[in-house]
Structure 1
Amino acid sequence: MKSHDEIWSEWQDLVNMTPAELRKWLDTDESQAVGDTHGDGESTGHKSGRRIIEIKGRKKADLDDDDWAHMAKVVGYIKRHMAQGGPREDKENSDWRFSLMNWGHDPLKQER
């Protein structure tokens, strides 16, 4: 199990969208069209994005166990999906990118 310091460090590196960027993204049709909804209308990633905004609004010292668990889940998701490499063509408009963005990571952000 990772320490809070390890999770924090990876979170800082991987969650590269600001709360404002993520909030704006979550309002798009593209954001709402990707991911598994488990039958309740909102995808797991979309819910995660809303939670990420909440967490980013807190100080490290104010995070609770549920926050740390979600942060670890986000880090794991981003790492797994980045390892897939995404599609060879049109990464910018791919479900792969859109899903990662729901989880707070724009894989093209560092490339711009």
Structure 2
Amino acid sequence: MAEDPITTDPATEPESDALWDTFHRVVNMTSPELATWLRTSAAEENSEEVPDLAGPPVGRHVLAILQKRRTDLTDEDITCMREVIDEVNERLSTAPSDAAQRPEWRHALMSLGHDPLREGT
């Protein structure tokens, strides 16, 4: 059963706009890039996940949010957006000094929709 989109209260609309903008600044991968990454990261030598089920649940949720209009967000989407922003910021603030040589660090961020090697991040 699909969740109902959240109803926008005019009093909280600026907060909603700020969250939307921050999420799309933190999640710097496009939906096609993220979808490709999730399929690639989930592929194993002898098997491959169904494309719609590839990658971790949070990555799939980020992908679903990227494909929505702001007015179609659910409360669950809002919670996910906040958690992803916090998680990406935490991982970036505690980046290892040799992060460029640590693909697992980058890949964990990419599964959240953030590529730390992308220009402007």
Q: Deviations over 1:25-60 (max 9, x none)?
A: 1122xx349xxxxxxxxxxx7211111111111100
Residue type at the aligned position of 1:24: T
User: 3-state SS of the aligned residue for 1:110?
Assistant: coil
Q: Which runs of 5+ in 1 are unaligned?
A: 34-44
Q: Which residue of 1 aligns with 2:52?
A: none
Indicate whether 1:17 and 2:29 are aligned.
Answer: yes
Residues of 2 paired with 1:70 and 1:90: CA distance? 25
Deviations 1:51-97 (A, max 9, x none): 1111111100111111111111111111111111x233362652111
Q: Is the 8 A contact 1:17 1:106 kept in 2?
A: yes
Cross-structure match for 1:71: 81
Aligned to 1:4: 16
Size of the aligned set, in residue pairs, is 97
Larger Rg: 2
Are the aligned partners of 2:65 and 2:73 in contact in 1 as well (CA < 8 Å)? yes
Sequence identity percentage: 35
Contact 2:99 2:105 in 1 (8 A): no
Q: Does residue 60 in structure 1 map to residue 84 in structure 2? A: no
Counting helix residues as a fraction of each chain, which structure ranks higher?
1
Give, in angstroms, the shift of residue 5 of structure 1. Answer: 2.2
Structure 1 stretches of 4+ with a deviation exceeding 3 A read none
1:87 to 2:96 alignment: yes
Query: Per the alignment, do residues 91 and 66 of structure 1 end up closer, same or farther by CA in structure 2, a change over 3 Å counting?
Result: same
Structure 2: gaps spanning 5 or more residues? 1-14, 44-54
Which amino acid is 2:96 matched to? Answer: P
